Amino acid sequence: RDNAIEYIGPELRQADQVIDASRMVVYPGLINTHHHLYQLFSRNLPEVQRMELFPWLVTLYDVWKNLDEEVVATSSLVGMAELLKTGCTTCFDHHYVFPTHAGDLIGAQFAAADTLGIRMYASRGSMDLSVKDGGLPPDSVVQTVDEIMTDSARLIEKYHDTSYGAMHRIAL
């Protein structure tokens, strides 16, 4: 009722409508608990197919430094459509690459989720150590702690919905 399971148990209940699911498998929507949707557009690059994690990251950070709203929206649409095809109705995405001047990447993800009707929980990750500070990513994809905190507050204010059954939530 109202997009929620009202009752599970041994008691028989009278239904307003009966759906014959005798030749089907019926189960609640699955929940994807860890995704990096933006990585879909680069997943088939031949040069990274057999790399270990750190060389893989270093190579792809050089690609991901060019992320923008269009790339993230398209990758999110493809990734979430794949999830929906396999019965997943909630996507929890971990996004942590925010290139300078890339736009509202989390907003692009929520727009893609809304287009498909999938529940989207976005984890706003962060990186503040670039290569020059001993980290792996280039300078252009890391942020200062102040930038991270300011954007995190903005995302919570703009997108986080605390209501029951919310379609948008933010985690940090």
Residue 9: per-residue pLDDT: 86
Which of 1-5, 25-29, 36-40 has the lowest average pLDDT?
A: 1-5
32: nearest Cα among 73, 76, 68, 72: 76
Mean of pLDDT values over 10-29: 87
How far apart are the C-alpha atoms of 80 and 89, rounded to whole Å? 9
What is the tens place of the pLDDT at every residue in 66-97? 999 999 999 999 999 999 999 999 999 999 99
How far apart are the C-alpha atoms of 158 and 168, rounded to whole Å? 10
CA distances from 138 to 85, 90, 97, 98 (A): 35, 32, 11, 11
Name the token pair of 34.
């860890």
Residue 26: per-residue pLDDT: 82
Residue 128 has pLDDT above 80, yes or no: yes
Residue 60: per-residue pLDDT: 96
Average of per-residue pLDDT values in the chain? 94
How far apart are the C-alpha atoms of 143 and 113, rounded to whole Å? 26
Phi, psi of 123 (to 5 degrees): -95, 115
Share of the chain above pLDDT 90, in %: 83
What is the tens place of the pLDDT at every residue in 52-63? 999 999 999 999
Residue 13: per-residue pLDDT: 86
Mean of pLDDT values over 98-122: 97
Pairing of β 88-95 and β 119-124: parallel
